[in-house]
Amino acid sequence: MKIRTTWLLIALMFLFLSAFSQGDSDPFSKRDEVYFSFPVRSKDELKSISHQISIDNFRNDTVWAYANKPQFDRFSAMGYKINILPHPGDGPGVVMRDKINLIKGSRTVWNFYPTYDAYVSLMYDFQAMYPALCQIETITTLPSGRKILVAKISDNVATNEAEPEFLYTSSIHGDETTGYVLMLQLIEYLLQNYGTDQEATDLVNNMEIYINPLANPDGTYYGGNSSVSGARRYNINGVDLNRNYPDPEDGEHPDGNAWQPETVAFMNFAGQHDFVMAANFHGGIEVANYPWDTWVTRSADDDWWIMVSREYADICQANSPSGYMDDLNNGITNGFDWYEVAGGRQDYMNYFHHCREFTLEISNTKLVPATQLPNFWNYNYRSMLLYLHQATYGFKGLITDQVTGEPVEAKVLLVNHDALNTEVYSTVLHGDYYRPVKSGTYTMEVSAPCYITQTIPGLTIADYTSSLLNIQLVPGAGVTTTAVSSITATGALSGGEVICEGSSPVTARGVCWGTTINPLVTGNHTTNGSGTGSFVSTITGLSANSTYYVRAYATNAEGTVYGDNIQFNTSCGSTALPFTENFNTSTMPNCWSVQASGSGANPNWTVSNTSNAGGSAYEMKSSYQNINPATTRLVTPPLITTGYAQLNLSFRHMLDAYGTGVSLKIQSSTDAVNWTDETWSVAGTSSNIPATVVNTIISNNLNSTTTYIAFTITGNLYQYDYWYIDAVSITGTSNELPSVNTTAVSSVTMTSAISGGNVTYAGTSAISARGVCWSTTANPDLTDDFTIDGSGTGLFTSILSGLSSSTTYHVRAYATNGSGTSYGNDVQFTTPCGTITSFPWTEGFENGGTIPACWTQERVNNSGIDWAFISGSGNSHPAGAHGGIYNACLKDASTGDNKTILISPPLNLGGILNPTLQFWHTQALWSPDQDQLSVYYKTSASGSWQLLMTYTNNITAWTLENLALPNPTNDYYIGFEGNAKYGYGVCIDDVSVTGTPLSLLVSPSEQTVSANAGSANFSITSNSNWTAICDQTWCTITPSGNGNGIITANYDENTTANERVAIITVSVNGIDPVIVTLTQEASLEKTLNLTLFIEGLFNGTGLNKAQNESGNQFAGNIADEIRVELHNATAPYALAAGPFTVGVSTDGIAQLSIPATFGSSYFIVIKHRNSIETWNNNPVSFSEATISYNFT
């Protein structure tokens, strides 16, 4: 066991203060930032520490760091031995100059620091003196008014040319100012030497160089614009800008702070450009720091980074005294090897912008004496120029459309080399690309949406050379890959979208996948249709806990194109019992996992090649970390515990102890998120626990397909050294009872809901009944309301009924077998509020001192208080409620202007006339402070509040108010807005809404009328406007009216053989309509119209009248008489009706009436005394009221 010194906070503060004289006892008074060092036992401690303070340097187990006061106060409590150091921003030998006279052709002696105003003027002087070569741009203007400026230097500076863009930036840490002045000198050097020095001329002619001398002006000039003395590391908001960028590993906000204005500005600036390479300058050590900072993984270009870093350091060493630029690995270091940085600008530019940026620490002293600045220029400028050259080396060229010649924005990937976003992209404007790379032979893949990917093998490049490779892409199909979802142990969903087809149709599309990057259709793939558009693909046959890559593809006659790669991991499949794990290899077993919670905590579980727990090597080891409080867990794979009453856990362990305040536990969970303590636990002491075998019981979170067991250490994680775990064995004891889970509650209404369950295990006998039970208390059982929903295992659905609105219920599934009943998990749900429909309605706030059901509160303008439900106002103004015990009251113990609205439940005022609000209130003056009450209404939940009345006077006793409620609707709300201003409070009680219910009576409810045309009246009794409609066209009615009245229904003749019904609906808005019916009888007879001419009487156009001895045999226009018979259609000689005797007019028309009961089809037979009988050709339908037939 190690020996450690525990520092009390008082001792820390003594050391802290002793580093300063009495006149400077508060190091935060000048710049709210302190610089200090402290020893650590291991570099492993830095990750958690870096989340609390800003680490500046780490060497030989000593950390140098910065902190603002809140950070320092938190860090001081961690127990480290802190050594307060002089702040680097107070560096000696600062010489300021408030005016710099640039002389063209004359070199400035840069042995000074410019004032802020002089710096701004100087930048614009460069532009004025060299307008064809230099352009000053403002990256942003900070809230302080200071600007972040950048100089663009190029031969055609106003034009964006097909040249590599390069960025130098300095002093993101405001007190690291050496690079600030060197960047100004570099600007002057390039401009002055253009046209006379070949190297400078070539660089300016062939590149677009951006130089930002000062990235944190608020930090550098924190002490004022006239001097850099007083500079600090952080920006004006106390944030380390070099920990404030999105991080490839730790996410968008690794430091826990919002993006600062400087960060946002540089992110936008990077997005507007296509920087090939960059460097950012720092101080405090002398070393070239190359990627990555955030993770141990090396860059794909690690050998190139070592080469350019070594070149920078070696050239500096060759042009400086011994001992310069030789820190760490003789002047260079991998960032993570030095110490981990999350949120750094270097990794941000490399990962998110594909720009090769590294960090140059160029002076041990952060703010060097001004007289030494020329020396640092001489040490560094040759290296700066050589690093600029590197952007012109490697593969480069133009990527264009083979058909149009237009530039194409394409990805340039070195196959089997690039990783973690080291690929590059051609520019949108010109299609130019630049790929610096170490010497070697490469295969290049060039791809772009809607173009055929080109693969170019055998490309060889040497160091410090360039290879021009222009590429013409052939238009083709384009496809994107959609995100992977629904990931299981064996499958997943993905898909894509074919965004273009190229010159021929897409004949196949889908996704392909594999365990290596860039899978092809020659491997696992789906086929999901053809043509353009989106598609969904089902990925199957995967292995649990494995990493896969998927990308969409589209194939046409030109070939196959692919979308982007998406990486995903399959979940772990659940493991059946018994389960054992002896940790026999040097890697953590599949599907085991580790967790950590607590600010800055790491899991800190590793596989150890030891046998301290008493088993065989290997074993799991948890290591201490200086975090308090925190928790770390070693978690088993998910286990199938369905049908087990308990689990039996056996394991070996050994604790290398240190002190008290930490506990060892066994926990269980069904989701690896919510954990339950099991019975075994041990409190840490200063005494070791030797190798021990533990046998314990797991009794929680069982009957699941995903039960997790965790070996947990929690509390002060500095109070132990190591905990070893080995030889884990888990068995189960079977359960005679069933296993059942409760399904989620859905379709919740005011009175009903749907739930159900899943019987996953029957137990030792068959399931005889299953269902759900519910109650307003937790864990309902069969003594409460329940359903019966079948028997057996499997899923079932249950309907809960008879619920009350605005009520919280608990529901559990149950399953019964011969051994008894088991219950599922308790699921809680709340029925929604019902709309108030019955009036008068009252609210007396008698709810035990809590807000009544369905009432809500709405704070106005950041109000800090809510209505309380108390007796009176809590004092004598008033002393008690108006009625009952409780009333509502809003009061504030300050003079703040706090407004909060107390909102009623929804009211259906559409069913009453003249709705009126009544309430009692008080608002006593506590001189001179007067509270106020405003009453509002709104006509829908999403509507705007409308003012009804405001009460501003002193009301000392309960007072009744009556307010008419305008614009009533079916979804109406009343709001009482209290404005508490330190008076005795705004109190209301006994709120009520009254009104006259709407009424509607229609009589009679039904009428029957004859087949003849006519009218019928219905009587209306109502106290409101009403409308009426009839659903039949043969019925017209009075459409509307007000109050009592008559509806007249006019109806046409019914000429059909069937009665008919008209439905008349009478409505009053706000209440249910009344429906009455009008029934019209069927016609009693049918009319048969015949047209015919009688032989012997026909005169060519009509009929002559039959004669007898007296002349015309028939009067009027009747020519003669005939007899008409109807014969059955299926038995023609069977008489169905008749004979009917009827007269025939001189124009050949005969009309007769027949009973309405004849509705089939018949033959019509005509008989006349002067001719044989005449039949029609085919049977005639008699379904209509009028039948016509022409015999002519």
In DSSP notation, 451-466 reads B--EEEEEEEE-TT-E
> Which tokens hold the place of 663?
């506990």
Q: State the Cα angle at 211 between 210 and 213, rounded to 5°.
A: 160
Cis ω for the linkage preceding 928 (within 30 of 0): yes
> Exposed, middle or buried, 754 (CB in 10 Å: 0-12/13-18/19+)?
middle
Q: How far is CA 1111 from CA 487, 1114, 1121, 1145, in A?
A: 107, 9, 16, 17
How far apart, in whole angstroms, are the C-alpha atoms of residue 537 and residue 530?
13
Residue 1143 CB contacts under 8 Å (≥ 6 apart), including other chains: 1114, 1118, 1119, 1120, 1121, 1122, 1150
What percent of the chain is helix, strand and coil (3-state, nearest 5)?
15, 40, 45
Per-residue b/e over 1155-1185, b at no fewer than 16 CB within 10 Å? ebebeeebbbbbebeeeeeeebeebbebeeb
> Which tokens hold the place of 984?
């005795």
End-to-end CA distance of the chain: give it in Å, rounded.
128
How far apart, in whole angstroms, are the C-alpha atoms of residue 856 and residue 888?
12
Helix (H, G, I), strand (E, B) or coil at 139: strand
Catalytic annotation, pick one of 165, 176, 286, 361: 361
Residue 767 DSSP label? -
How far apart, in whole angstroms, are the C-alpha atoms of residue 1095 and residue 1183?
31
> Which tokens hold the place of 168?
């130098």
Within 10 angstroms of residue 146's Cβ, the number of other Cβ atoms is 20
Nearest Cα residue to 738 out of 662, 643, 619, 880? 643
How far apart, in whole angstroms, are the C-alpha atoms of residue 1177 and residue 1157?
23
Contact predicate 550/515, CB 8 Å: no
Contact predicate 624/616, CB 8 Å: no
Per-residue b/e over 980-994, b at no fewer than 16 CB within 10 Å? bbbbbbbbbbbbbbb
Q: Is residue 1081 annotated as a catalytic residue, yes or no?
A: no
> Exposed, middle or buried, 795 (CB in 10 Å: 0-12/13-18/19+)?
exposed
Strands (E), 1031-1094: 1035-1037, 1040-1042, 1045-1051, 1060-1067, 1074-1080, 1085-1091
Q: Which helix (H) or strand (E) holds 302?
A: helix 302-318
Nearest Cα residue to 312 out of 321, 322, 324? 324
Catalytic site positions: 361
